[in-house]
Amino acid sequence: MRSVTIIGAGPAGLSAARVLVANGLRDVLVLERNPEPGGLPRFCDHLGWGVLDLHRLWRGPRYARELVRRAAGAEIRTNVTVTGFEPGGRIRVTSLDGPAVIESQIVLIATGIRETPRGPRLVSGTRPWGVTTTGAFQEMAQAGQVPFRKPVIIGSELVSFSAIMTARHAGIRPVAMVEANARITARRPGDLIARHVFGVPVLTATRLVEIRGLDRVESVIVEHEGARREIACDGVVFTGAFVPEAFVAKTSGLAIDPGSGGPAIDNFYRCSDPSYFAAGNVLRPVEHSGVAAAEGARAAAAIAMALRDGLPSPGGAIAVSVGGAMRYVYPQRLIVEHLPLRLFGRAAAAHQGRLRILADDAVIASRPISVLPERRIAMTIPAGDLAGRHAVSILLD
C-alpha cells in the first residue's frame, strides 16, 4: 500500500509531491493521464508562469519542467487514467498495461479544470474543421501544427489572452475576440493590450450565434444589440468557461459542492471521505497556477500531518453555506481547533453591497464590498467567534 497517491501532475499535484518528499515520504506516486507531466503550462509557450510560487517569470514549458524537477523523489506515471474512487483510498485506473487497482493511505485529487467546448454552449451552425478549445489549440501549436490562420477567440478570460499570445507566437493572427458581457472578464487593460499591441479587436456585449463553413470554418455570425453581422475567419477558439475536472469524484460518491462544482473540503483540504484530499483548480474554476500550486503545498502539509495522526477528527465540523449573490465558498466545512480559518469564494454576478458572515444567526463580520464574478473574495474568521456554533453562512446582500 502506498502512503500517498496524487492524481494529476500539474502545478497543484507536483507542488504537493515536492512537499511530501521533503517531509520524508519515499513512496509518493503521481498519476498523470497525459504522456508527460507538467499540466497545462507545458503547452503555453509565453511568459507569465512561476511568478507567485517560484518567484520567476518563465514560459510555460520552462515552468512545467521546474515543477517536475522539484518533485524528484516521487514516482510519476504517465498515460494513466483514473476511472473510479473507492472508500478508504482504493482507486481504479487504466493504462497501457490494462486496468488495475492502487491502494493508498491517502489520495490527493489534483485533476484541475477543463474548458467548456462548443457543444454545451449551444452554438448553432455547421460542424467544420477549425473549432477547438484553448487547451487543444495550445497543444497543437506546441507540436508545430497550424490549425488556422485567422481565428475568432470566444471569451475574454485570462486564458483567452493566453490564446492570443499562443497564436501570435505561432504566426497566427486572430481577427476578433468576442465577449458576451459588457466588459472583459480578465482584468483591464487586457482589452487595450489586445487591441493596440496585438491588433485584435475586442467585441464586448457581443454574442456568437452561428458557425459557418463546410469542410472548414469560413465565417461566424455574431450579434450586438440585436444586430447581426458576419465575420470572415478560418477557425474558432472557445476559451474559458472552466469547470472542475471532478467527474470521477462525483460519480464515486464524494461530496460535491453545487456552487463550485468541485469536491467539498474542510480547512485541511479533506474530502467527505477522509482518505481523500483535494487541492488546486479542481476545487473551483479557476485561479492562477501559483494559487493552485500553493494549495497543493498546503494540502500536502496537511496530508503529512494526517499520516502522523496529527489532524483533528473530521467529525464535528461546522458546515458553511452561501446566500444572496454568493456563488460558492470553500472550504465548505470548518474544524475550529486550528488557525487561521481562511475562506475563499466568488459572487454569482457583478455585485455592490455588503458581505456578511453569520455564525448560526449572529453576525460576526460585515463589510461593504464591490465585486466581479471572476474576482476571488477572501475572508478570515477568528476561531473564537465560532465557539459553540453549529453553522456558518456567507451572505452577499
Give one DSSP letter per residue of 156-210, joined into a string: -SHHHHHHHHHHHHTT----EEE-SSSS-SSPTTHHHHHHHTS---EE-SEEEEE
Q: What is the DSSP letter of 230?
A: E
pLDDT value at residue 339? 67
Q: Return d(Cα 290, Cα 160) in angstroms, integer.
A: 18
Residue 175 has phi, psi (to 5 degrees) of -95, -15
Q: What is the DSSP letter of 25?
A: -
Beta carbons of 376 and 295 less than 8 angstroms apart: no
Q: Return d(Cα 111, Cα 290) in angstroms, integer.
A: 15
Class of domain 2-114+242-311: alpha beta
What lies within 8 Å, CB to CB, of 231 at 6+ separation is 152, 175, 176, 219, 220, 221, 222
Return the amino acid letter for 110.
Answer: A
- Tell me what percent of the residues of the chain surpass a pLDDT of 70: 99
Q: Kindly state the cell numbers that stand for 198.
A: 496585438
pLDDT value at residue 142? 84
Q: Is residue 108 exposed (0-12), middle (13-18) or buried (19+ Cβ within 10 Å)?
A: buried
Residue-range domain boundaries for the chain: 2-114+242-311, 118-238, 320-396
Nearest to 112 by CA among 285, 332, 328: 285
Q: Return d(Cα 59, Cα 313) in angstroms, integer.
A: 42
CA distances from 165 to 137, 172, 194, 197, 204 (A): 12, 9, 9, 11, 19
Beta carbons of 293 and 16 less than 8 angstroms apart: no
Beta carbons of 173 and 199 less than 8 angstroms apart: yes
pLDDT value at residue 334? 95
Q: Kindly state the cell numbers that stand for 151.
A: 481565428
Beta carbons of 321 and 73 less than 8 angstroms apart: no
> What number of other Cβ atoms are within 10 A of residue 129's Cβ?
14
Q: Kindly state the cell numbers that stand for 94.
A: 487504466
Beta carbons of 146 and 117 less than 8 angstroms apart: no
- Domains 2-114+242-311 and 320-396 agree in fold: no
Q: Return d(Cα 168, Cα 170) in angstroms, integer.
A: 5
Q: Return d(Cα 338, Cα 305) in angstroms, integer.
A: 13
Q: Kindly state the cell numbers that stand for 188.
A: 483591464
Return the amino acid letter for 167.
Answer: A
Return the amino acid letter for 321.
Answer: S
* H or E stretch covering 257: none
| pLDDT tens per residue across span 55-77 | 999 999 999 999 999 999 999 99
Q: What is the pLDDT along the chain (397 residues), one digit of tens a residue?
A: 999 999 999 999 999 999 999 999 999 999 999 999 999 899 888 888 999 999 999 999 999 999 999 999 999 999 999 999 999 999 999 999 999 999 999 999 999 999 999 999 989 999 999 999 999 999 998 888 999 999 999 999 989 999 999 999 899 999 999 999 999 988 888 888 889 888 999 999 999 999 999 999 999 999 999 999 999 999 999 999 999 999 999 999 999 999 999 999 999 999 999 999 999 999 998 899 999 999 999 999 999 999 999 999 998 899 999 999 999 999 999 998 766 799 999 999 889 999 999 999 899 999 999 998 888 999 998 877 888 889 999 999 9
pLDDT value at residue 177? 98
DSSP 3-state assignment of 393? strand
pLDDT value at residue 350? 86
| pLDDT tens per residue across span 251-270 | 999 999 999 999 999 999 99
Q: Which CATH number fits domain 320-396: 3.30.420, 3.40.50, 2.60.40, 1.10.3470?
A: 2.60.40
Strand order in 377-381's β-sheet?
326-330, 341-347, 377-381
Q: Is the CATH number of domain 118-238 3.50.50.60? A: yes
Q: Kindly state the cell numbers that stand for 273.
A: 471521505
Q: Return d(Cα 76, Cα 55) in angstroms, integer.
A: 25
pLDDT value at residue 42? 92
Query: What's the predicted TM-score (pTM) here?
Result: 0.93
Beta carbons of 279 and 110 less than 8 angstroms apart: yes
Q: What is the DSSP letter of 313?
A: P
